[in-house]
Structure 1
Amino acid sequence: MSLDAVLDIAAAVFLVAGALLSLAAGVALLRFPDLLTRMHAAAKPQVLGLLLVLIGCALRLRTGVDITTLVLVGIFQLATAPVAAHMVGRAAYPHDDIRTDLLVTDELAAHLDRIAGARDDEVRA
């Protein structure tokens, strides 16, 4: 078996695994009960699925310019997906879009209570 055939098989495995992870993330977005669990399902397997697809594409293409572009796409996805998920969670928290009964630790509640108390003191002054 030639090296090209082995690389093509490895590329196919990476592409299928990445596609399945992305599909699982999409199904979880529809099935999970609240925003935080949906956000987790969108951020974690989606990023890993995309990285696997990018690795599969890199194995299949095997040219320097294309692989550089794929690496840049992966880096930007790793840099932006966690930040976007964090900001969506922070924006949705005060609007009761999450189920607090499912939280193990709620560190943001004390912080928001402290901010609300400071605002009330400013209004009174």
Structure 2
Amino acid sequence: MRIDKYLWCIRYFKTRSIATEACKKGHIRVNGESVKASKTVFNNDKITLRKDQINYQIEVLDIPANRVGAKLVDLYRKDTTPAEVFEKLELLKYSKDYYRKKGAGRPTKKDRREIDDYTEDDEI
């Protein structure tokens, strides 16, 4: 089975075209090599896939005949992604909460006071 179809079947991507695009961008590696979407996947292949700033590590257990339900995905793959990767993602989410988006306008009074408090602490 093709790598893009396999990743679609085990629900890592919503459509095959998104999986194909990820292959073209080099976000998918099989056994350490960057691959095209047409690469054939076999049992015991190790797939590294970058999605949403996480490097997922998957081991192929079996090849599905077609797209499977979410409850059956674990029959076809073994997820060996370390837990630290998900912890880093949580920290990244918290760090993004404190930044203002570009073009959000001038700071409010509350924002200005927080900025002043922050800068006053640095000067002392």
Query: Could you say whether these structures have the same fold, taking a TM-score greater than 0.5 normalized by the shorter chain as the test?
Result: no
TM-score when scaled to structure 2? 0.30
Higher normalized helix content (fraction of residues): 1
Higher normalized strand content (fraction of residues): 2
- Larger RCO: Structure 1 or Structure 2 (Cα < 8 Å, ≥ 6 residues apart)? 1
